[in-house]
Amino acid sequence: MNNNFEKLQISLLRLFFTLSIIFFILTLFGTSPLKVFDSIIYGSLGSYSKLIRTLIVWGPISMASIALIYTFSAGMWNIGIEGQIIMGAVGATLIARSFLGDTFISPYVQIIFAIGFGGVWGLICGLLKVKGNVHEIFSGLGLDFVASGIVIYLIIGPWKREGIASTSGTDIFDKASWIPTIGQNEFPLLLIILILILYILSFVVLKYTSFGLRLKATGVNELATQRFYFSSSTFILLSFFIAGSIAGLAGFSQASGAYHKLVPSISGGFGFLSILIVLICSRNIYFTFIVSFFFSALIVGGSQLQIRLGLDHSLIGIIQATFVLSWLIFEKLKLEEPLLKKVFRSNK
């Protein structure tokens, strides 16, 4: 039997198990799982404008997930991703509020600044790991909160709205600084192009270049890096820089595509959500593409839960986290393979 086919079967069976658990929990909460999923699908894909809203959420989540694939490949836990997204948004806001803010080149300059700001923030985490030997979880967590401190300071202080000092956010950007859209329904073309480029580029880089291979070697086996005479430190630093840059792009997408201003919770928790996504996709770009879309649809569709069924939005987070936790546990329990074999034997 084809090996890939077998893998697909195992994945599908695992998906079935995982969804069963989610259905079970939803029933336990006294809700109807079918109604919940119906609302989610209607709320996220039910119309063209809803699809566009899903795409605008899918953008930053995809970017953050791709960013995390680089650090996970190098064996690093990039919990600092939230901070990198936030700093990317700060970079973008800096340009949107500058003299370039009302010119058509603003979004493109924002991209450069967002990449720079996010990249540097990621690099700090990498440097602390390589030079200071600080566990990346603690430094990442610290830098997340430092970044959110910076944003709060900016919003209350230098970038406050005329006359009001509140944490509700900065002034709305000039329309020229928004991510360019097309048509009446505001299809975010630039965003979609960026995501597709990132997916394809990352697929090629991670799979077909020596850089990708070395990155993986850094994560899997430090001894190998010594045998093949390259420094794992360099690759750890690079992975953090690349991850930070891509996460910065996600911040740009949040600031100029979703909110059109800088708010304290600019990352929307998408960084942590992307960690969940990458945990189950384990560096597989196809899976990341699908799962990040599925999770974005859950988020956007979740707003319908309140309207149609009177259920709180936090149910979506429960579905997502349960999905990931059960998936990870089933992955370890390895129930699927023996089950499949049993079924095939009985067929013969």
Partner 1 sequence: MLLFENTIVTVISLSTPLIIAVIGETISEKSGVINLSAEGTIMISALCGFAFGYLTDFALIGFITGALSGAFIAAFISYCDIKLRMDQIAVGFVLTILCIDLSNYLGQEYVRINGPIVAKFSLPLISKIPFFGKVLFNHSLITYFSILLIPTSWFFLNKTSLGLAIRASGENPLAARSRGINVKKMRLLGTIIGGALLGLAGATFSLYTKYGWSESHTANYGWIILAIVIFGGWNPYRAAAGAYGFGLLQVLAIKAQSVTLALSQILPLLPFPIMIFILIFIQYINRRERKNLPKFILSILGGNQPEALGKKLPEDVN
Which range touches partner 1 (CB under 8 A), out of 126-134, 173-181, 209-217, 250-258? 126-134
**Cα–Cα distance, 72 to 69 (Å, whole number):** 5
Q: How many residues form the binding site for partner 1 (CB under 8 A)?
A: 45
CB of 309 to partner 1, least distance (A): 13
Of the candidate residues 332, 338, 346, 347, the single one contacting partner 1 (CB under 8 A): 332
| Burial class (CB within 10 angstroms; exposed 0-12, middle 13-18, buried 19+) of 293 | middle
Nearest to 139 by CA among 156, 125, 158: 125
Distances (CA, A) of 185 to 51, 58, 155, 182, 192: 10, 17, 30, 7, 15
Quote the CA–CA distance of 82 and 264 in Å, as a whole number: 12
Cβ atoms of 244 and 118 closer than 8 Å: yes
Collapsing DSSP states into helix, strand and coil, what is residue 60?
Answer: helix
Among 21, 120, 141, 224, binds partner 1 (CB under 8 A): 141
Please select the residue that binds partner 1; options are 192, 213, 328, 335, rule is CB under 8 A. 328
User: Does 78 interact with partner 1 (rule: CB under 8 A)?
Assistant: no
Q: 286: burial class by Cβ within 10 Å (0-12, 13-18, 19+)?
A: exposed
Of residues 141 and 192, the one with the C-beta less far from partner 1: 141
**Rounded Cα–Cα distance for residues 236 and 73 (Å):** 9
- Of these, 41, 279, 309, 340, which contacts partner 1 (CB under 8 A)? 279
**Binding status of residue 291 toward partner 1 by CB under 8 A:** no
Read off the amino acid at residue 270: F
Residue 141 CB, shortest distance to partner 1, in Å, is 6
Q: Which residues within the stretch 167-226 sit at the binding site for partner 1 (CB under 8 A)?
A: 167
Letters for 27-56 (x = contact with partner 1 by CB under 8 A, - = none) are --x---------------------------
Q: Which stretch in 93-101, 105-113, 286-294, 329-337 sits in contact with partner 1 by CB under 8 A?
A: 329-337
CB 48 within 8 A of CB 183: no
User: What residues numbered 150-169 form the site for partner 1, per CB under 8 A?
Assistant: 152-153, 156-157, 165, 167
Smallest gap from residue 61 Cβ to partner 1 (A): 14
The conformational region for residue 268 under phi > 0 = left, psi -120 to 50 = alpha, else beta, is left
Burial environment of residue 261 by CB neighbours within 10 A (0 to 12, 13 to 18, 19 or more): buried
The verdict on 148 binding partner 1 (CB under 8 A) reads: yes
CA-based R_g, the chain, Å: 21
CA-CA distance, 92 to 248, in Å (whole number)? 9
Is position 77 an interface residue for partner 1 (rule: CB under 8 A)? yes
Q: Binding string to partner 1 for residues 306 to 325, with x set by CB under 8 A, is what?
A: ------x-xxxxx-xxx-xx
Between 192 and 279, CB nearer to partner 1: 279
Q: Does 272 bind partner 1 (CB under 8 A)?
A: yes
Interface contacts to partner 1, rule CB under 8 A: 29, 77, 79, 128, 132-135, 137-139, 141-146, 148-149, 152-153, 156-157, 165, 167, 272-273, 275-276, 279, 312, 314-318, 320-322, 324-325, 328-329, 332-333
